[in-house]
Structure 1
Amino acid sequence: MTDRNTKLADNQINVDEFMAKYDRESDYRRLSGSSGMAVAVLATVFSLFQLYTAFFGVLDAQIQRAIHLSFGLALVYILYPTRKSWSRSRVHWFDLLLAILSVAAPLYIVICYKDLVMRAGITTTTDMLVGGLGVLFVMEAARRVVGWPIVTVAILFLGYAFAGPYLPGAFAHQGVTINGLVGHLFYTTEGIFGIPLGVSSTFIFLFILFGAYLEKTGLGKFFIDLANAIAGWASGGPAKVAVLSSGLMGTVSGSSVGNVAGTGSLTIPMMKKLGYRPEFAGAVEAAASTGGQLMPPIMGAAAFLMAEFVGTPYVNIVKAAALPALLYFTGIWIGVHLEAKRAGLKGIPREELPKVKYILAERGHLALPLIGIVYLLVSGRSPMQAALWAIALSIVASMLRKSTRISLLDVLKGLEEGARSALGVVIACATAGIIIGVVTKTGLGLSLGSTLIDLAGGQLLPTLFFTMITSIILGMGVPTTANYVITSTIAAPILVQMGVPVLAAHMFVFYFGIIADVTPPVALAAFAGAGIAGSDPMKTGVQASKLAIAAFLIPYIFVLSPSLLLIDTTLPKVLMMMTTSLIGMTAVAAAIAGYLITPTKWFDRILFFIGGLMLIDPNLITDLVGIGLLVVGVTLQWIRNRQAKTSLMNN
């Protein structure tokens, strides 16, 4: 038993080191002693403040958001050092000084709130000094916890604000003064304290806290064991376990790299042992883990922002995302199955796998909070209320069995870890607010919109393509949350202007911001998978992109036919679309994998690829042409397979 515990502890250490390498948010100080206790208390108080306002009522918008940001800035400057070379075991005096100063900026709004309201936009020299420092503190915090890419984007937008009078053509504007820009960014709800930070300061934080408690109860291990029991015996079993467990984990985790580390540390070695190439093993986990952000009911922070931007209840986002998420994971499952068949890979013997009945009997109660949160959302409760009650339910559910029961110390640790997990989202939302503030102040959104439409010749498909490229490029360096904020502010309105339903337009940019995690040259989830598999990162990224081909197709499907998002549709129409979409994705997957019934020839691949793409467009003619091409390809495969069997029997 001691050896087993030692192995588990060593595995956790390896996961922590791995996360620190590939996920900037995980590269924080591990403090002990009095400093560690002080940070734990600060983080716990942060969580308690969020729980208090969720239960008794949110404060005035700017006060709520300012206090929320104060906690976030203080913890970031304490936990994330100025320089990478500085100690991770103790706090540098300079970081402590910055933590104190950074807190003063947003608290200035709290202390002087009445005076600021009474002056109604008239700013003093002190206001400008504090506001200017506040903007700088937010950007420096973003550099530490998120990275340079988002800071670079923010700097470019700030530069555009001042350079307006000197720019040519549609991008020119009258320019802004320093006082005007600082006032707009720091003392209104259209900048740093805008909608993104508002959503972060209410229900995003609570859902992150909910996820922290689900981790404490051991739900992740339950998902992996359940996936093993269900799919481990099938052809290429461990790879299918990775797909299924990552999909389940995605219901509670919004981090692609976190999902890779959590499930990949178990599934990738299993895949390699079975015979999968290291690149393929890492790619399967990366593609599946990235899809976790698309999986309801908890889809990552950007989905909550979408509900606010679109102006619809979060439960509608969940409903709309359900079928696309199902298609996404089905697409990866098909790719894994075809690779297993092509390579002749078997599953794990059933006697070596856990039994479904035993797992459900022992730990099935851990899933009650997920069932509860879905029920609460569907019954009309707000996301904040649903998350609040789900947190309580997760603690209560763990108490139902001694083997899963969490202690009072675990409850307190959950508060601390939830606050720490939220820091990246808090700072990303604040930084995204700077970008939004510049867009609203200068009218950049309209300028970019008209330019993009002109570049696409006013045609929808080219506009979708350019929007896809923009979202992927931003997603390579900017977190999903900030990526969605930027693209939803600039690109989504363009699609709406071209007749795309609002929800479909926002879901389109949301999808491609996420898929950037497996799209080379900067594919964090794929690189993380490669790190565990010991494979080449670029080859793993390319393979992950192939497996995630569904994610490149699905957004076009629901833009061309919003029925997939359950917008103004009927059940027969949805069933028909799901059927043609699944057939199309299977065909494209066969073209990429080089296998369907038997290994494909180049001619088969062309038929499958073109036929599959034809089924994307919800049009009777394209569907008939696509099915015709697939019938020809499948017939050729069947004849070739029958000839091979006949030849084998004759020999």
Structure 2
Amino acid sequence: MSGSAAPPSSRPLTALVADGLSTLLVLVAIAWSLNLTRKLGFHFYAQQYLALLLGLSLAITFLSSRSCEARPTRAAPWGDQLLAALSLLVLGFVALRYPALVLQVFLKPLAVWVPGLLTTALLLEALRRITGWALPAIVTVFLFLALAGNMLPWDLDLRVQEFRLLSGYMGFDANAVLGLPLAVAGGVIVVFLLLGALLGLTGGTRFFTDLSIALMGRFRGGSMKIAVLSSALFGTVSGSAVANVLSTGTVTIPLIKDDGFSPPKAAGIEAAASTGGQLLPPVMGAAAFLMAEFLEVTYAAVAYAALLPALLFYAALFIQADFEAARLNLRPMHSSRRPPLRRLWGGWHFPLTFAVLIFLLFGRGFQAERAGLWAAATLIVTGMIFGYGGQRPGLRALVQGFAITGRRASEIAVIAAGAGVVIGVLGITGLGFNLTYVLVALGGGNPVVLLLLAALICIVLGMGLPTLAVYVLLAALVAPALVETGVPPMAAHLYVLYFGMMSMITPPVAMAAFAAASIADAPPMRSGLHAMRFGWAAYVVPVLFVAAPSMLLAAPLPVAILAGLTALAGIWAVSAALVGGAVVSGPAPRIALAAAGLALLVPADAFEGGWITDLAGAMGLALVLMLARGERARRARVVEPG
């Protein structure tokens, strides 16, 4: 997809056109983010920009067919070229005529419903090419419900729509295809995709991997800890668990296997760490930007709330990596395998980029896209001047970076537009309200039952779907039901995001785990099960932050600090119990240790008298450790000679 598989001279015209459209998409997105049109005296509806963005994205998708990827010198088939031209023509018409036609949607003229129908059809085909059959099948089901939901044997109390009205609504209304998900994809997400692409071109990805090796290679189990740290650093800007696995896993998984860990374990911890990157501030993944729009809060507020749960998740990964190494009696990585310090000093400007981003986001309150653009500009200047490890991009490489960004952004824009169809159907038919009512009724008014039901729905709906699509579906279908039962909106949306992300490592369809398994040459299902075990904290922590505001840093600072410390102790205890052998051995001590850890995980402000669980957990943990220490001393005396 990067367009770098063949020299420019040998690439066909369709590939060059796709690169040009990709670069244009990024330039248009940057201009829109900087509000250049208004500054130049031109005023457009946001939906006109979004129609142009979608037209470019669809055309790029059709010109970048899989047959062209396999054979870079081969031009796109003529059928795909026609689809690309039709996409530009139809969406260009929508963009140009939008001000006049948007008010006529409910009058159903030919000039409205035909472009809407063509847009929907082109979108479904592009979705199929990008994501496979799962997402377009879901979108088609929702369209069927909007057209003929009253024909189903059960009564959903839907406002079914006439064909022409629905077509026009999908193509022109600001609550459908040209809605909020596409607006976020066409603004802030393009900017951060550009930042990620520039990191790769300037050597930033290699720097963070080298930094992880230098920092963690000196400890036992360093290879696993390298995977955790590098995946966290890269995953926070990549926006995709699978892309993170494929980028960092090619380096970290062989290191883990060389250390003596089994291939399924190597794949499992890499998959879990890569998935968690989308939950870790300061950047998080694409879904976090959309969450801020749904909740009508700043992105900084989302990142602040997500900080403690994400740190606990990665603490669980680090602790398990350490216990796994202790159980196998592994030594630290030899110094000859760690990068020299002088090479790391050459990448000092990469942390500067993130410092600029964090300062502007949290210190100056900049909008996320503006802060991202300043960070990208910083990276371009420092990368061209200093480079890293002999890698210093020139102008051609930067242009290529724009093309790479455009390709990736086009995929996300198509997925976001598909999610807009679902949101549009939920709104125009009243299905969203009805589903919320059904979920609350199934939960029987019991918040615990509803949380378990919501978690199951999130994991099932998330299987096989991209991150952004997972979150939009869950935010529209499940989060309102949680809010209806009294869960704070921020906690509800983070809850569905966490469990939606866990579909990436939860068999039977665990995309991130399966991608890691292919690199590790390991059985996919076993890799998925190991990923679940390493990522166990992500199945527990969401329940905690729903119950206690302190876990989202929404409580007084002393309460939040206490909750974080006791939760960390609980993470340590449960992780030790899961690994076994390093702290305690035998079923009974491990069960007791896990029980003490789970008690410590419950925050004191989760319910009245919640401090009792912390006290009981602390006492239980101390007792188990004392008994384990006594058992080790007894065994040492037994094996002493004489």
TM-score by length of 2: 0.93
Query: What is the correspondence of 1:63-212 to structure 2 with a 5 Å cutoff?
Result: 63-81=48-66, 89-117=74-102, 119=104, 121-167=106-152, 171-212=156-197
1:38 paired to 2:53: no
Q: 1:367 aligns with which of 351, 367, 374?
A: 351
Q: Distance in 2 between matches of 1:649 and 1:399?
A: 64
Aligned partner of 1:8 in structure 2 is: none
SS in 2 for 1:139: helix
1:85–1:264 CA distance, 2 compared to 1 (3 A): closer
Task: Name the counterpart of 1:649.
Answer: 640
Match of 1:461 in 2: 448
Given the alignment of the two structures, is residue 419 of structure 1 paired with residue 406 of structure 2, yes or no?
yes
1:504-526 Cα shifts (integer Å, max 9, x gaps): 11111111111211111111111
Match of 1:16 in 2: none
Q: Is residue 246 from structure 1 mapped to residue 212 from structure 2 by the alignment? A: no
**1:256 counterpart residue number:** 241
Equivalent of 2:559, from 573, 576, 580? 573
Of the structure 1 ranges 441-450 and 544-553, higher mean CA displacement relative to structure 2 is found in: 441-450
CA shift for structure 1 position 137 = 0.6
Alignment-derived partner of residue 492 in structure 1: 479
AA matched with 2:19: A
State how far apart, in whole Å, the 2-side matches of 1:28 and 1:501 are.
47
Deviation, 1:199, is: 0.8
The alignment status of 1:52 with 2:36, answered yes or no, reads no
* Cα drift, residue 384 of structure 1: 1.7
Does residue 47 of structure 2 align to residue 62 of structure 1? yes
Q: Which secondary structure state, in structure 2, belongs to the residue aligned with residue 464 of structure 1?
A: helix
Shift of 1:552: 0.8
Stretches of structure 1 lacking an aligned partner (at least 5 in a row) = 1-24
In 2, are the aligned partners of 1:363 and 1:404 still within 8 Å (CA)?
no
Which of 580, 590, 609 aligns to 1:594? It is: 580
Q: Deviations over 1:455-494 (max 9, x none)?
A: 2221111111111111111111221101111111121111
Say whether the 8 Å CA contact 2:150–2:156 is kept in structure 1: no
Q: What is the match of residue 478 of structure 1?
A: 465
Offset, 1:170: 5.6
Written as runs of structure 1 = structure 2, the 5 A alignment for 1:625-644 is: 625-644=616-635
Say whether residues 1:382 and 2:367 are aligned partners: yes
On the 8 A contact 1:219/1:367 being kept in 2, the answer is: no
Superposed CA deviations along residues 214-273 of structure 1, whole A, max 9, x for unmatched, are: 111111111111111111121111111111111111232112112112211111111111
Question: Aligned letter for 1:39?
Answer: A
Deviation per CA, 1:546-583, whole angstroms, max 9, x where unpaired?
0000111111111111222122x122111111111112
Does structure 2 retain, via aligned residues, the 8 Å contact 1:145–1:424?
Answer: yes
Q: Which has the higher mean CA deviation after the structures are superposed, 187-196 or 294-303? A: 294-303
In the alignment, the residues of structure 1 paired with residue 579 and residue 623 of structure 2 have an alpha-carbon distance, to the nearest angstrom, of 18
> Corresponding residue for 1:13?
none
State how far apart, in whole Å, the 1-side matches of 2:470 and 2:104 are: 34
- The CA deviation at 1:86 is 9.3
Tell me the distance in 2 between the aligned counterparts of 1:168 and 1:26.
48
1:99 is displaced (CA, Å) by: 0.8
Q: Percent identity?
A: 36
Choose the corresponding residue for 2:384, options 377, 391, 399: 399
Counterpart pick for 1:431 among 409, 418, 432: 418
User: Where in structure 2 are there 5+ consecutive unaligned residues?
Assistant: 38-43, 604-609
Matching residue's letter, 1:335: Q
Q: Tell me the equivalent position of 2:218.
A: 233
Measured after TM superposition, the shift of residue 210 of structure 1 is 1.4
Contact 1:217–1:405, Cα closer than 8 Å, also in 2 = yes
How far 1:623 sits from its partner (Å)? Answer: 2.2
Instruction: Specify the alignment match of 1:501 in structure 2.
Output: 488
Pick one of 190, 211, 214 that aligns with 2:199. 214
Secondary structure, aligned partner of 2:339:
coil
Quote the Cα distance in structure 2 between the aligned partners of 1:97 and 1:636: 74
What SS class does the counterpart of residue 650 from structure 1 fall into? coil
Alignment match, 1:4: none
Deviating more after overlay: 221-230 vs 119-128? 119-128
CA–CA distance in 1 between the matches of 2:275 and 2:3? 20
Distance of 2:436 and 2:550 partners within structure 1 = 26
RMSD over aligned Cα atoms: 2.2
How far apart are the structure 1 equivalents of 2:337 and 2:184?
A: 46
Aligned match of 2:40: none
Contact 2:14–2:63 (CA under 8 A) maintained in structure 1 = no
Q: What is the number of residues matched between the two proteins?
A: 624
Q: TM-score, normalising length from structure 1?
A: 0.92
Residue aligning to 2:502? 515
